[in-house]
Amino acid sequence: MGMSTLIVQISAGLGLYIICLTFLALRRRFKNARFSREHGCLPPSQAPTDWTFNISRPFILSKVRKAHKFMPTQQESFHRNGNTFAFSIAGKRLIMTCEPENMKAILATQFKDFELGKLRHDNWGEVLGDGIFTVDGHQWEHSRAMLKPQFNKNQITDLEDLETHVQNLFSRLSLAENGGSVLNLHEYFLNFTLDFSTAFLFGKSVGSQLCQGQTSKFAQDLDYAQKVISFRVSLENFWWLYRPKKFTKAVADVQAFIGESVQQALDKQKSEKGKTSEKYVFLEALARETQDPVVLRDQMMNILVAGRDTTAGFLSWIVYSLARNPRVWDILRREILTDFGRDTPTYQQLKDAKYLKWVLNEVLRLYPLVPTNFRYANKNTTLPLGGGPDGLSPIFVEKGERCVYSVYSAHRRKDIYGEDADIFRPERWGEGKPRGWEFLPFNGGPRICLGRKCSLLYLCLALRGGGGVLHNPCTSCMIDHTPRSVRSILPSSLRFFRVTEGC
């Protein structure tokens, strides 16, 4: 075969390939346009594209993130482009929304059209395995069905251990305070919630608060592993390029540690067949559902991560908000002293503490612990709002497109919460407006947070009279002072923020 024949054949093949691609692209466009028409969709507003086709966007965002301005920057983009808009990076479109109706569609009414996606499964999965936080579809349904019964009220109200860990927290704070140093309260809260969570979940605490001046090895490994997976989210499809040796070792050590507890629970179950422990231990209860050590390890890891950082972050934001609002602090303190005194309150008393509930809601409104999140469409579908010049028509979402929803921005919308939406004012929760999907700190729909009641209970107990945060002279001493510097929220659902208090 001559050279020229070969060139002709290659050109013909290439031409055919291009024709096929063009045909497929046109067919896709045609099908999408028809779907869109049939569902009455109109295009959403489009955020501007820069000369790099927005390829530089992840780098810009990484700078914004480092400056702890990610969430305010995202909120500004909604002010500029509307409550729902499209945004393209290198021609790939994603949908941004802070519209409660759209969040309801993504998370509940059209739940089956959306999923967490492969990126989250593969990246987070290196630490969390195939646990409830990383899987979709049947695997998720199975995880949810297995874990849900472990979160019933009777089990989570058995919290005697909490007092010991609260006391350990205050001992550590007193020690640090006597040293006259600036405290990073968030670190203290992370150790507190780690100790408490491990006691509740595994039946024995890792005792990170007891490591004099240091964080336990387990806490260090867990923190580092989470830091790496959070960072990798910003690398998008290239997340796998960042896997330092230290990360592999930290993950192996954390998994081995949890694996050991799992084995002990399984051994205990074999030797004490039929007998139940006096104290409720999450792992032991779960081991009655499945005896697969890997499933148990992965699920325990997921629950630990889900509960520990969120609760510590919530506690930090409560202190941060109260420190800036002495009026609220006084009212809350009075309510707690009057209602509970020094006794451990009952579950019902905590539920009835009206002002406490308003304060917690207001903190969750302004500082949601998972401030922004996303789902991928797993089929061609729609969102109910955002299309057309008035934004009131449905919009088309193509299979594979990412829908980013911003709980942080929805919680600060002035058309929903009023002109003072940016202000911390717990009393707004007594003004009787229905919130529904406008208030979404724990997600909604079938994947609503399983630990929401449990976390509110931990917090109420930690804040209560007696040995609680609000009653402890050491904490009030810190809170009476203006915090020196406060960094802002990071957009990750695993790492949140730091509060640095100056005494």
Binding site per annotation, positions: 449
299: closest CA among 262, 350, 266, 348? 262
254: closest CA among 202, 213, 212, 289? 202
Closest distance to ligand HEM from the beta carbon of 165 (Å): 14
Q: Which is nearer to ligand HEM, 84 or 443 (CB)?
A: 443
Q: Which is nearer to ligand HEM, 39 or 289 (CB)?
A: 289
**Cα 425 from Cα 444, distance rounded (Å):** 24
Closest distance to ligand HEM from the beta carbon of 182 (Å): 25
Which residues of this protein are in contact with ligand HEM, per CB under 6 A?
Answer: 132-133, 144, 303, 306-307, 310-311, 314, 369-370, 373, 441-443, 447, 449-451, 454-455
Q: Which is nearer to ligand HEM, 314 or 376 (CB)?
A: 314
Closest distance to ligand HEM from the beta carbon of 377 (Å): 16
Q: Is the dihedral of CA 263, 268, 273, 276 positive or negative?
A: negative
Q: Write the DSSP symbol of residue 105.
A: I
Pairing of strands 84-89, 45-46: parallel
**Cα 485 from Cα 488, distance rounded (Å):** 10
289: closest CA among 143, 181, 433, 410? 143
Closest distance to ligand HEM from the beta carbon of 200 (Å): 8
> Which residue has the CB atom at the shortest distance from ligand HEM?
451
Q: Which is nearer to ligand HEM, 359 or 474 (CB)?
A: 359
Closest distance to ligand HEM from the beta carbon of 336 (Å): 19
* Numbered residues of the known binding site for heme: 449
Closest distance to ligand HEM from the beta carbon of 135 (Å): 9
Q: Which is nearer to ligand HEM, 105 or 369 (CB)?
A: 369
Q: Which H helix or E strand runs over 12?
A: helix 3-38
Torsion angle defined by CA atoms of residues 469, 470, 473 and 474, in that order, rounded to the nearest 10 degrees = 40
471: closest CA among 325, 334, 327? 334
Q: Which is nearer to ligand HEM, 54 or 197 (CB)?
A: 197
Q: Which is nearer to ligand HEM, 144 or 324 (CB)?
A: 144
**Cα 410 from Cα 437, distance rounded (Å):** 9
Q: Is 134 exposed, middle or buried (0-12, 13-18, 19+ CB in 10 A)?
A: buried
**Cα 97 from Cα 405, distance rounded (Å):** 5
Closest distance to ligand HEM from the beta carbon of 317 (Å): 9
**Cα 231 from Cα 97, distance rounded (Å):** 23
